Amino acid sequence: MRTVAEHLEAVLAQLTPVAATTVPLSQAHGLVLIEDVSSPVDLPRFANSAMDGYAVRASEIAGVTPEEPRVLPVLGDIAAGDGAPRTHRDFHAWRILTGAPVPEGADAVVRVEDTDGHPREVMIKAAVEAGANVRPAGEDVRAGSVILRAGTRIGPAQLAVLASAGVAEVSATGQLSVVVLSTGNELVPVGEPVGPGQIHDSNGPMLAALVRAAGHFGVFAGHLPDDEKAIKAEIDHHLTHADLVVTSGGVSKGGSYDPVKSVLTGVGSMEFTEVGMQPGKPQGFGLLGKRKVPVFTLPGNPVSVLVSFEVFVRPALAALAGQRYEPVTVPAVVLQGWDSPEGRAQYHRVSLSRDTSGAYAAQPVSGPGSHLVGGLALADGLAVIPAEATQVATGSEVRVLPLRPLWEIEADVVAERDAAQAAETDPAETDAAEAGREDRG
Ligand SMILES: Nc1nc2c(c(=O)[nH]1)N[C@H]1C(S)=C(S)[C@@H](COP(=O)(O)OP(=O)(O)OC[C@H]3O[C@@H](n4cnc5c(N)ncnc54)[C@H](O)[C@@H]3O)O[C@H]1N2
Ligand code: MOO
């Protein structure tokens, strides 16, 4: 049996970033840069005013105070966007607006609040240092310097610097196109009636959503019966266009009842293996077809699917997009301990709250069964328990991999704490607080 780290390494060793495309900035949000981007220009592009006021030479108003002001003739107005060449004249001032170019020879701007605001002959009431309220050219970015490194995801701030530098298109990996397939004779799409022994397919919608939430293009291509030929044909079809294929079900020890494993064994670099983790033990991965498309065959149990996604598929998506992935976990104190299987890393569903010291506290929300999708939906995160542990003691500290954005977890934690405090000061609130807790299970 492989460890989680060994299996992840085996997967990542086979992955190379998908080919880059050149995209206009308007379509670049969310994509990942494939090469460093340098700025062709200084930022700011030119020395400009940080304030509405008067452009002056600082030495010409040295020692000026409200009691001993100095009056300077005003040469005119310079507004933002005004590109006409302007020059300072000794013992004069230009009225200047925020963002407007500072005239040649002026070295400071006096804020309008430190003057009488006169448009023709301004009374200056405060001295300033040379450079005051001037944003120098190249202060932020020097022409020719790298503004964004390869591997950076283009978010709002990255779009802002690219646009500021006038970079109109970038070379980036597109959103990855990920095809999700469910397998199993028992599956019926949600919305259709289930017969005896049948269940609704939940892995398909969940996996497609996990892919989309990771910033990619997840298509749920439907579910397949336990039929080797049909499964092979469907996977082959998607190898012509997908960047990644993820199946669920049919990979354990059921022989012909586990057709994904039987039909893909020995194909491409496909390898079926057991990984020391709970849930998620049976795993398959390999590159298939002429395009060497990576294919994950995840176990069918819904919790195993989600855990396998977090532990293997998410890092693989990052690698395909040219990024490295490191999971972020938060520390939490265990409110009620549980057992962990010997020799397998455990990913245990927990809800998070705050203990009296303000640290996160973790409470198991269901047993370890990998079919318990109700408990999964209530979990804030997965407590990650190392393979060597056989017990998680009450009061010990665990690391929790959040399953929801931390700010949403935080909002619930704070709302619960507020309700509990309100109940302490006003017993009439107790019912409301109890009801809130019941809502969250
Ligand atoms: N004799 C053994 N049996 C099993 C072992 C084992 O080591 N020896 N491992 C168990 C573990 S652990 C897991 S995990 C599962 C994995 O099985 P498969 O990948 O073959 O998955 P299936 O048998 O097809 O399904 C398992 C379970 O999940 C339900 N399922 C499947 N697909 C979906 C879907 N799209 N939506 C909702 N639920 C789904 C399916 O009905 C089964 O209940 O094997 C154990 N067995
Ligand atoms: O590995 Mo299975 O995923 O434990 O339920």
Per-residue pLDDT averaged across 420-438, rounded? 69
Average pLDDT estimate for 221-232: 94
- Say whether both 169 and 184 belong to one domain: no
271, 283 in Cβ contact below 8 A? Answer: no
- Cα of 252 vs centre of ligand 1, distance in Å, is 7
- CA-based diameter of the chain, in Å? 97
Looking at the fold, whether 235 and 312 belong to one and the same domain comes out as: yes
Shared domain for 281 and 183, answered yes or no, is yes
Residues 125, 10 share a domain: no
Q: How does residue 374 score in pLDDT terms, banded at 50, 70 and 90?
A: very high
* Ligand 2 centroid from CA 283, angstroms: 10
Determine the pLDDT at residue 318: 94
What is the predicted pLDDT for the residue at 356? 78
Does 429 share its domain with 350?
A: yes
- Residue 183 sits in a domain whose CATH number is 3.40.980.10
Domain match, 343 and 303 both? no
CA–centroid distance, 258 to ligand 1, in Å, is: 9
Q: Which ligand is nearest to the CA of 249?
A: 1
Confidence class of residue 432 from pLDDT cuts 50, 70 and 90? low
Atom of ligand 1 nearest to the CA of 182: 35
CA pair distance 11, 285, nearest whole angstrom = 7
- Domain boundary among the residues 320, 340, 364 is at 320
Interval 185-209 mean pLDDT: 96
ipTM score over 0.85, yes or no: yes
Regarding the beta carbon of 281 and ligand 1, being less than 6 Å apart is answered yes
Question: Which of 252, 257, 262, 274 has the most ligand 1 atoms within 8 A of CB, as the residue to mutate?
Answer: 252
In sequence order, the 6+-apart residues with CB closer than 8 A to the CB of 187 are 198, 199, 200, 201, 223, 249
Ligand 2 atom closest to the CA of 278, numbered from 1: 4
Among the ranges given (70-84, 130-144, 253-267, 359-373), the one the predictor scored with the smallest mean pLDDT: 253-267
Ligand 1 touching residue 185 (CB < 6 A): no
pLDDT higher than threshold 50 for residue 73: yes
342 and 360 belong to one structural domain: yes
Q: Is the CB of 281 under 6 A from ligand 2?
A: yes
Mean pLDDT, residues 123-132? 98
The average pLDDT across 146-158 equals 95
pLDDT digits (tens, 9 = 90+) for 233-243: 999 999 999 99
Q: How confident is the model at residue 425 (pLDDT cuts 50, 70, 90)?
A: confident
- What distance in Å separates the CA atoms of residue 323 and residue 326, rounded to the nearest whole number? 10
Is 407 domain-assigned? yes
Query: Is the pLDDT assigned to residue 38 strictly greater than 60?
Result: yes
**Structure-model confidence comparison of residues 357 and 96, the more confident one:** 96
325 within a domain of the structure (yes/no): no
In this structure, are 251 and 369 located in the same domain? Answer: no
Check whether residue 107 and residue 65 sit in a common domain: yes
Q: Is the CB of 300 under 6 A from ligand 2?
A: no
Instruction: Find the CATH number of the domain harbouring 57.
Output: 2.170.190.11
Residues 271-296, mean pLDDT to the nearest whole number: 97
Which one of 298, 320, 342 terminates a domain?
320
User: For ligand 1, is residue 300 a contact (CB within 6 Å)?
Assistant: yes
What ligand is nearest to the CA atom of residue 183? Answer: 1
- DSSP line for 386-441: -TT-SEE-TT-EEEEEESS-HHHHHHHHHHHHHHHHHHHH-GGGHHHHHHHHHHT-
Task: Kindly identify the ligand whose nearest atom is closest to the C-alpha of 298.
Answer: 1
Q: Report the CATH number that the domain containing residue 342 is assigned in CATH.
A: 2.40.340.10
Residue 355 above 90 pLDDT?
Answer: no
The pLDDT value given to residue 441:
43
Does residue 438 surpass a pLDDT of 80?
Answer: no
Average model confidence (pLDDT) across the chain = 94
Q: What is the pLDDT of residue 327?
A: 95
| Cβ of residue 280 lying under 6 Å from some atom of ligand 2 | yes
Q: How far is the CA of 203 from the centre of ligand 1 (A)?
A: 12
Q: Between 428 and 31, name the one with better pLDDT.
A: 31
Instruction: Judge if the beta carbon of residue 101 lies within 6 A of ligand 1.
Output: no
Which of the ligands is closest to the CA of residue 307? 2
Shared domain check, 183 and 165: no
Query: Does residue 127 sit in the same domain as residue 200?
Result: no
From the list 380, 378, 350, 374, the residue with the least C-alpha distance to 364 is: 350
Same domain, 168 and 187: no
Task: For ligand 1, say whether the CB of 259 is within 6 Å of any of its atoms.
Answer: no
Average pLDDT over residues 367-375: 93
Q: Which domain covers residue 191, as residue numbers? A: 4-15+176-320
Point out the domain boundary residue: 109, 135, 161: 135
Residue 168 to residues 25, 33, 205, 340, 347, Cα–Cα distance (Å): 6, 14, 36, 53, 44
The C-alpha atoms of residue 17 and residue 319 are separated, in whole angstroms, by 6
